[in-house]
Amino acid sequence: MKHLLRLIPLALLPLYIYSQPTIYPPDKIWGQLFTDVQMQKILPDGKTFVDMVPKRNPKDIMYDYGMMKGPKFDLKKFIDANFELPPSPQLNYITKETDVVMHIKNLWGVLKREPDKQVEGSSLLPLPYPYIVPGGRFREVYYWDSYFTMQGLKESGETEMIHNMVRNFAFLIDTYGHIPNGNRSYYLGRSQPPFFALMVELLAEIKGDSIYQNFLPQLQKEYDFWMDGHDKIAKGTALRRIVKLSDGTIMNRYWDDYPFPRQESYKEDVETAEKSGRNKTEMYRHLRAGAESGIDFSSRWFKDGKNITSIQTTDMIAVDLNCLLYKLELVISRAHLINGNDSMVSVFRNKANARRIAIDKYCWNKSLKFYCDYNFKTKKVSPVITPAGMYPFCVFQGKPDYLSLLAKQASEKITNLLLKDGGVTTTANTTGQQWDAPNGWAPLQWMTIWGLDRCGQRVLARDIAKRWIKLNVDVFNRTGKLMEKYNVVDTHLEAGGGEYGGQDGFGWTNGVLLALIKKYGVE
């Protein structure tokens, strides 16, 4: 009976789903108005307009726009008159706490959002349960951000919020067939690094094994999304997120189903594609796939290692993505074990074992002694060392001695190339992109520390954790804020690069910092 009661909220979700009206992305709703606003850049950044809510019926706004356009037409004034600016409530939050832990615990309430209501013309995809947003310009829930936010929610005793967020992601899977980048209509063409299985595992550690049973249907649907087309492609070809290598090995890449500029970065994508001189559709695919990876953008994806115009994301078998899918296969196997379905336990255990063998074969760079991405078109392993290469040490099962040996070799690269005063950089390259040096990001600190600690490199793990904690606390003491990203090379300077300015709040920074302070303390 208890199991049945736990299942009731999810069982009721179809009623909620079918009540949803059809949602169109901003470029479809606003047509030429959308293009004019984005290309003229009359707002702070491209994400501002696509998050705005119309003050009246969209059809009436578009009729007036067509009638009023002319040589003396003031587009900015028209937007101000017809749209509400998206709110950023944390900007009104005045920091009074001197203790960073208490500050974070108070911030959960500021970053919390209640269940959504559908608003005509809004890009927001309504969610049925409360959730935590990152902060700043990121006013919606984000997929991979949320796993790291949950680490802090756990330390704060916010168990029900974790459960609600997992329910929301299950709802998104049931409604749209996958978890979008974020709960916005313009994000529906892509997902993000698939951490749903790790979220379910985290919640199960708190609430018990029944959690695996409750969310098994959504775990399977998540897997089906990433593996769509695996049975339809020939050797040496790729389809959506699937790559089938010449030996028949199936692995995954990042992808986006839409072949046009990102609505929230429309002007930037159009200009990048034009500057590249390459096929524009191909460029938009690579840029969107980079956004799905969460690493948007980085020399990790650049052919020449320097310029975004050489981006080649969809050509890469990403080591972090395949490790997360390996973990998903293991979690599905465990859920079937709890259900007593022995045949499916073996099926998914075998899938995971095959994927692990493939990751070792194609992503271990023998000369660098580090896990890297594999370019399936050039048939070469990437020479770019990034914290993505630490994911295997976080999730691989079995062969502890073998993993310990590889972790020792990998730790030398981390120390020599990425370790700086404030933690680890995202790459050793300085390109002006936000996922390159000198920037460090909370999720990559977490995965690096976790992998090193799990595989015997505990001294280095502690060292990185201490450096990151000190940097976060120092910036908080100077500014009263916790930031999206940090300059780990010169800890007195702000992080920079990318398509927008620094954002505060900040969900995954808060979560990782609380969890690291719990484990390693703060000086």
Catalytic residue list:
296, 484
The strand ranges marked E within 377-497 are: 380-381, 419-420, 423-424, 439-441, 485-487
Count Cβ atoms within 10 A of the Cβ of residue 251 and give its class: 0-12 exposed, 13-18 middle, 19 or more buried. buried
| Lookup: tokens for 286 | 């690579």
SS3 384: coil
H helix or E strand, kind and range, residue 365:
strand 364-365
- In whole angstroms, give the CA distance from residue 468 to residue 476: 12
AA identity, residue 358: A
Q: What number of other Cβ atoms are within 10 A of residue 366's Cβ? A: 7
Q: Which long-range contacts (CB under 8 A, 24 or more apart) does 337-341 make?
A: 338/209, 338/212, 338/213, 339/213, 339/216
Using CA atoms, how far apart are residues 462 and 137, in angstroms rounded to an integer?
32
In this structure, which long-range contacts are made by residues 155-159, counting pairs with CB atoms below 8 Å and at least 24 apart in sequence? 155/514, 155/515, 155/518, 156/104, 156/105, 156/108, 156/514, 158/108, 159/206, 159/207
What amino acid is encoded at 241 in this protein?
R
Q: Burial, 492: exposed, middle or buried (Cβ in 10 Å; 0-12, 13-18, 19+)?
A: exposed
Residue 22: other Cβ atoms inside 10 A: 4
List Cβ neighbours of 410 (8 Å cut-off, separation of 6 or more): 369, 370, 371, 389, 390, 393
Q: Measure the CA–CA gap between 400 and 268, rounded to whole angstroms.
A: 46
Q: Helix, strand, or coil here: 87?
A: coil
Q: For residue 490, how many C-alpha atoms fall within 13 Å in the half-sphere facing its CB? A: 5
